Amino acid sequence: MFEVLVFVYENYWRGEAVPELHQLERKLSAHGFEPDEIHDALVWLDGLNIAADQSQPTPEAPEPFTASPHSLRVFSVAEQDHLGAACLGFIAFLESSGVLPPYLREIVVDRAMAAPGDPVPLDALKIIVLMVYWRFGHEPDALVLDELCDDTEGRLAH
């Protein structure tokens, strides 16, 4: 599924250029992706679209979800188990860096909970964060993009 999401991100980097899901399914199939991978990715993308549409401003709620600077997000046991320590730490890092506001964090967590893996691999979470930025039309700055695209396997901790 994540290979399909990366393909969509790389080929439709402007979210509005993405064809309808049934047309996208045909294009992905033509590029050689397996039907199960395509189905899983399209279901996941549909969930992302629903979450993004629900977070859009309305007359009743003119701003996206905002949190007090003193608020604390407590993850449920199910979220802790499914995301694992590495993903939770990465989410906290993005938040503390000021690049993942609370309303996007909630969508990242929602989409990560819909992703396979137990726990979700950190590389998969990075793709999820990229897809959430992509869906909202946010272009991460170079340092954030480097962190999201960096391969940590060859990294030596000091």
Give the CA diameter of the chain. 50
Give the pTM. Answer: 0.84
pLDDT number for residue 22:
86
* Local structure of residue 35 (DSSP, 8 states): H
- Reported as a single tens digit per residue, the pLDDT across 57-85 is 666 655 666 666 677 889 999 999 999 99
Please give the Cα distance from 46 to 60 (Å, whole number).
25
CA distance 48 to 21: 12
Report d(CA 73, CA 67) in Å as an integer.
9
Contact 6, 41 (CB under 8 A): no
Q: Quote the Cα angle for 101-54-49, to 5°.
A: 90
37's CB contacts (< 8 A; 6+ apart) are 1, 3, 4
Q: Are 36 and 15 in contact (CB under 8 A)?
A: no
> What's the pLDDT at 12?
84
Characterize 74-84 residue by residue with b for buried, 16 or more Cβ atoms within 10 angstroms of its Cβ, and e for exposed.
eeeeebeebbb
Q: Residue 135: which of 79, 73, 40, 55 has the closest Cα?
A: 55
pLDDT value at residue 66: 65
pLDDT of residue 15 exceeding 60: no
Nearest to 94 by CA among 53, 137, 57, 138: 138
